[in-house]
Structure 1
Amino acid sequence: MNRILQIVALTAGLFVAGAAQAQDEVPVEIGYLPILPDAQLFVSLENGAFAKAGIKPDLVEFQEGPAMVQALLSGQLDAAYFGIGPAMVASARGADIKVVASNIVEQISFIAVGDLAGFAADGVKKQTFADFAAKYGRKAKISTFPTGSVPDTVLKYWLTKQLGASVGDIDIIHQGAAQVQQALLTGAVDGAAILEPAVSLALSRDADATVLASGSEMFLGQPGAVLAVRGALIKEHPELVEAMVAAQRDATEALRDKAPGAAEAVAKYVGGGRLPLDVVRKALERSRQSFVADPNKIVEGTVAMRDFQKAQGTLREDVDVEKLIDTSFYDRLTAADGQEAPAEPEAAAQ
């Protein structure tokens, strides 16, 4: 066979192989928030785990959990990387979803800027916010995610359960992720209950910014973002769900071990890919021990969060947490390869 025929044959072979691979790929519509707690998704997209498993991701970006809830209720999305709070709401309202993996725990921080940072420099106590209002003639403006979200719930839990204060002591402003970050950086608010990398970004740009509470200080064992999949995907393609859970575990280990390329993968998606890589690296380092994939580790915390949200009135319907969280995929995965579940996370270094 001459050189030209060899090239033609090789090209034809590659085309056939590529076509077969394309036919084998299954489109999976994935909703996500461009936030650091969804880091495992970004690592899995960039390290080839999804492609290797035959998953063709159709990404849909959202700015807040409630919009993802509506998408799930309307029949959109095969999978969603979002907070456990919205996941409970979606399930309670009839969405056929299962949480098959955790992303992160104890990831919320309360950061203060401006007058509040100086006023509470010695720490936050029961009377801090009431005293602030008395001194400045106004309540402290605190930005966080929409009502019922994980950051909103953790903020209220911290105020009432940990401090013994009242939610009415502050003026809560509910916003999307990008808006919370902007409000904090421009000084439009006095503080925020927020996720990384907004915390690291604020600390890098404002010398007076102060983290007043974080992680277990706000809500011990608090579950955060999760991977939820629609029941139809489990029924029709259980092998893809298993592959997504495997990718989740591998990506979690990569993030905890600071594997090469992990930070770059996260930086490509978080904040629309506009954040400096060094800020993303700092945010990942501060969150490293909070990345947890095992869904068994968030059952107890999810029950506590559900009970608190019901008492607050932000979750009106009942949620069976044990039915919502399906640990079977993760359990089979660890049993199959004899790998022990990661150790309990240490409190994130804030």
Structure 2
Amino acid sequence: MDLGQPKESAKHETPDGQTRRNFLRLTGGVTAGSIAGCSSVIGGSSLDTLSVAYKPIFPFLQFLVMDERGYLDELDANVETTDFANQGLNIVSAYSDGDIDVAFIGITPAIRMKHQGVPGKVTAANQTGGFVVLATDEFVDLWNDHGADAFEAFREQEGRPFQFSTFPKGSVAYVLLRHWLDEELGVGTDPIEIENVAGVGPVRQALLSGNADGTFVMEPLPTILEARDAPFSRVTNTGSFLSGAPGGITFMHDRLVDDHPDVARAFLRQHVRATELINEDSGAAAEAVSAALGDRLSADLSRRAIESSASNYISDPRAISEGTQVCIQRMQDLGQISDPVETNTILEPSIYQDVTE
């Protein structure tokens, strides 16, 4: 298969306080190529633009590859992409408002949206696993000696609870951390305190300043800290305790799937193509990541993070079915959703099957 070549692509960030399409109407911002013969989602039966929302992070690695290597240019649609980095959950709000056709988000926001009746389905998974339990070297010594009892041993030794710093309570990281503590280890949160912060930057700062003893975080932060010989080590990762542990996913609006199945299938073909590149040529995928992130992450560190045992990059949404069910149950237990959501109302594998089988 032709995996494509890198391209230069501009990025357009939507300012806070403006809806996605209002912003586009004002600016005319388009980040991927336009091909003749398109029709409009905005207008009903035609597709003028395909709006794609993302953040430049590893759970959405397929998007970075698709964009940087020009795969999106091959779609029979005007593709407009918006980088929602450092804008909290605005990506979910924009999607819920009807401004987004394809959103690269986490599985827990997708579950919450389906619980609220928001139209759309997970048409592709981006990865299984992806999250790492990282802790100070001192705690890892206790872990090696005591296993799950290390948290109580830490409290007795330090005179305080173990301090986790991780993402907000609605995030995949928080939900899976609670699953690990509550179900896998059976320790709950009695010997532990969890600080919820917005983003990798605050997590890194909490660790390096000594305000946190550990974290539950995705790549590339574990790889970056290891490269800098920071005094932290991996305890486990989600793939080690949960089969099909979901992370980033691709969420498509029903109007795209129902009214423009050819475009939906074409998008999935490029997603599969990106997954193949990631798995077959991690160096080329790393170059795409580095190009997207600029000076923030070198191609070498990107490649090492991509090759980390924490992540398994995939496209088939069926691979995260079991893990999605676990997240649904955990979110209900935590009071994040009031009623269970059927997995088959969240995952839609038919488009993936159409393009691969």
Could you state the TM-score of these two structures normalised by the residue count of structure 1?
A: 0.82
Residue 36 (structure 1) aligns with = 58
Q: How far apart in 2 are the matches of 1:312 and 1:42?
A: 33
Tell me if structure 2 keeps the 8 A contact 1:123–1:212: no
Instruction: Answer whether contact 2:277 2:284 (CA < 8 A) is retained.
Output: no
Indicate if the aligned counterparts of 1:97 and 1:228 stay in contact, CA closer than 8 A. Answer: yes
| 2:239 partner amino acid | S
**Cα distance between partner residues in 2 of 1:54 and 1:157:** 42
* 1:285 match: 307
Instruction: Tell me if 1:296 matches 2:318.
Output: yes
Given the superposition, is the C-alpha separation of residues 309 and 63 from structure 1 closer, same or farther in structure 2, using an over 3 Å criterion?
same
Deviation at 1:293, TM superposition (A): 0.7
2:172 to 126, 150, 154: 150
1:164 — aligned with what?
186
Cα deviation for residue 181 of structure 1 reads 3.0
Q: Secondary structure at the match of 1:319?
A: coil
| Deviation, structure 1 residue 276 | 2.1
1:89-126 per-residue CA deviation (whole Å, 9 max, x = no partner) reads: 11111211110000000111100126434543x26623
Q: Report if the CA contact (8 A) 1:65-1:83 is conserved.
A: no
Task: Please report how far the alpha carbon of residue 305 of structure 1 lies from its aligned counterpart in structure 2 after TM superposition.
Answer: 1.9
- Asked whether 1:209 is paired with 2:232, we answer yes
Per the TM alignment, residue 83 of structure 1 is displaced from its structure 2 partner at its CA by: 0.9
**Alpha carbons of structure 1 residues 254 and 102: separation in structure 2 relative to 1, 3 Å:** same
Q: Which amino acid aligns with 1:169?
A: P
The 5 A counterparts of 1:194-233 are 194-233=217-256
Could you tell me which amino acid in structure 1 is paired with residue 354 of structure 2?
R
Q: Which amino acid aligns with 1:236?
A: D
Contact 1:222–1:298 (CA<8 Å) still a contact in 2?
A: yes
The answer to whether the Cα contact below 8 Å between 1:31 and 1:62 also exists between their aligned partners in 2 is no
Q: CA RMSD in A?
A: 2.4
- Select 2:333's aligned residue among 305, 311, 320: 311
Q: Residue 288 of structure 2 is aligned with which of 265, 276, 279?
A: 265
Tell me the percent identity.
29
| Structure 2 equivalent of residue 137 of structure 1 | 159
Structure 2 gaps, min length 5: 1-32, 40-47
Shift in CA distance, 216/28, structure 1 to aligned 2, threshold 3 Å: same
Per-residue deviation, 1:20: 8.0
How far did 1:188 drift? 2.9
AA partner of residue 92 (structure 2): V
Match of 1:69 in 2: 92
Query: Which has the larger helix fraction?
Result: 1
Match for 2:57: what amino acid?
I
Runs of 4+ in 1 over 6 A off after TM superposition: none
Match of 2:149 among 111, 118, 127: 127
Residue in 1 aligned with 2:109?
A: 86
Q: Rate the CA distance shift 1:86–1:124 in 2: closer, same or farther, 3 A.
A: farther
More displaced 10-residue stretch of structure 1: 196-205 or 184-193: 184-193
1:21 aligned partner: 35
CA deviation after TM superposition for structure 1 residue 207, in Å: 4.2
Is residue 62–residue 68 contact of structure 1 (8 Å, CA) maintained in 2?
no
In 2, distance between residues paired with 1:196 and 1:127?
27
Distance in 2 separating the partners of 1:92 and 1:117 = 38
Partner of 2:265 in structure 1?
A: 242
Deviation at 1:67, TM superposition (A): 3.4
Count of residues in Structure 1 that have an aligned counterpart in Structure 2 = 315
C-alpha distance in structure 2 between counterparts of 1:20 and 1:139, whole Å: 55
2: CA distance, partners of 1:47 / 1:133: 49
Cα distance in 2 between the residues matched to 1:208 and 1:92: 41
Select the residue among 51, 55, 67 that pairs with 1:45. Answer: 67
Structure 1 runs not aligned, ≥5 long: 1-18, 336-350
- Give the C-alpha shift of residue 299 in structure 1: 1.5
Amino acid at match of 1:21: I
| CA distance in 2: counterparts of 1:38 and 1:185, whole angstroms | 26
Following the alignment from structure 1 to structure 2, what is the Cα–Cα distance between the partners of residues 173 and 188?
10
